[in-house]
Amino acid sequence: MTTKIVVVVEGGLVQGIYCTDPKTEATLIDWDNIREGQELELQETNNYPVEYLDDMVLLEKMEEVNNVVKKNIEYDVEQRR
Protein backbone atom coordinates (compact mmCIF):
# COMPACT_ATOMS: atom_id res chain seq x y z
CA MET A 1 0.00 0.00 0.00
CA THR A 2 1.25 3.47 -0.85
CA THR A 3 1.50 5.98 1.99
CA LYS A 4 -0.43 9.17 1.25
CA ILE A 5 0.38 12.52 2.84
CA VAL A 6 -1.84 15.60 2.72
CA VAL A 7 -0.49 19.01 3.77
CA VAL A 8 -3.21 21.62 4.28
CA VAL A 9 -2.09 25.24 3.78
CA GLU A 10 -4.37 28.21 4.24
CA GLY A 11 -3.39 31.85 4.45
CA GLY A 12 0.24 30.88 3.90
CA LEU A 13 0.28 28.76 7.05
CA VAL A 14 0.28 25.00 7.46
CA GLN A 15 -3.05 24.15 9.06
CA GLY A 16 -2.51 20.42 9.27
CA ILE A 17 -0.64 17.40 8.03
CA TYR A 18 -2.50 14.14 7.51
CA CYS A 19 -1.15 10.73 6.58
CA THR A 20 -2.46 7.23 5.92
CA ASP A 21 0.46 5.78 7.93
CA PRO A 22 0.06 6.47 11.67
CA LYS A 23 3.82 6.09 12.20
CA THR A 24 4.65 9.09 9.99
CA GLU A 25 6.57 12.02 11.46
CA ALA A 26 6.83 15.49 9.93
CA THR A 27 9.34 18.29 10.23
CA LEU A 28 8.32 21.79 9.25
CA ILE A 29 11.07 24.01 7.83
CA ASP A 30 9.92 27.56 7.10
CA TRP A 31 12.70 29.10 5.03
CA ASP A 32 10.90 32.46 4.85
CA ASN A 33 11.01 32.85 8.64
CA ILE A 34 14.54 31.48 8.88
CA ARG A 35 15.89 33.92 6.27
CA GLU A 36 14.11 36.84 7.94
CA GLY A 37 15.64 35.97 11.31
CA GLN A 38 12.30 35.08 12.88
CA GLU A 39 13.47 31.58 13.86
CA LEU A 40 15.43 32.07 17.06
CA GLU A 41 16.32 28.44 17.74
CA LEU A 42 17.38 25.41 15.78
CA GLN A 43 14.62 23.24 14.37
CA GLU A 44 14.10 19.79 15.78
CA THR A 45 12.93 16.85 13.72
CA ASN A 46 9.38 15.64 14.18
CA ASN A 47 8.30 19.13 15.20
CA TYR A 48 4.88 19.08 13.58
CA PRO A 49 1.91 16.88 14.48
CA VAL A 50 0.67 14.39 11.91
CA GLU A 51 -2.90 13.18 12.13
CA TYR A 52 -3.84 9.71 10.92
CA LEU A 53 -6.17 9.70 7.93
CA ASP A 54 -7.67 6.55 6.46
CA ASP A 55 -8.25 6.22 2.72
CA MET A 56 -12.00 6.85 3.02
CA VAL A 57 -11.55 10.16 4.84
CA LEU A 58 -8.83 11.12 2.35
CA LEU A 59 -11.23 10.53 -0.55
CA GLU A 60 -13.88 12.64 1.20
CA LYS A 61 -11.40 15.51 1.69
CA MET A 62 -10.31 15.31 -1.95
CA GLU A 63 -13.93 15.36 -3.10
CA GLU A 64 -14.50 18.50 -1.02
CA VAL A 65 -11.43 20.14 -2.57
CA ASN A 66 -12.49 19.18 -6.09
CA ASN A 67 -15.97 20.63 -5.52
CA VAL A 68 -14.49 23.99 -4.48
CA VAL A 69 -12.11 23.97 -7.47
CA LYS A 70 -15.02 23.18 -9.80
CA LYS A 71 -17.06 26.07 -8.38
CA ASN A 72 -14.09 28.42 -8.81
CA ILE A 73 -13.67 27.37 -12.45
CA GLU A 74 -17.39 27.78 -13.12
CA TYR A 75 -17.31 31.24 -11.53
CA ASP A 76 -14.26 32.23 -13.59
CA VAL A 77 -15.89 31.05 -16.82
CA GLU A 78 -19.06 32.96 -15.99
CA GLN A 79 -17.10 36.16 -15.27
CA ARG A 80 -15.38 35.97 -18.66
CA ARG A 81 -18.71 35.95 -20.56
Q: In what order do the strands lie in the sheet with 13-19?
A: 5-10, 13-19, 51-52
DSSP 17: E
Q: Does pTM surpass 0.85? A: no
Please give the DSSP secondary-structure letter assigned to residue 22.
T
Residue 29 has pLDDT above 80, yes or no: yes
Domain boundaries, the chain: 5-80
pLDDT at 69: 93
The better pLDDT of the pair 2, 42 is held by 2
Residues 36-77 pLDDT 10s: 887 766 667 777 889 998 888 888 988 999 999 999 999 999
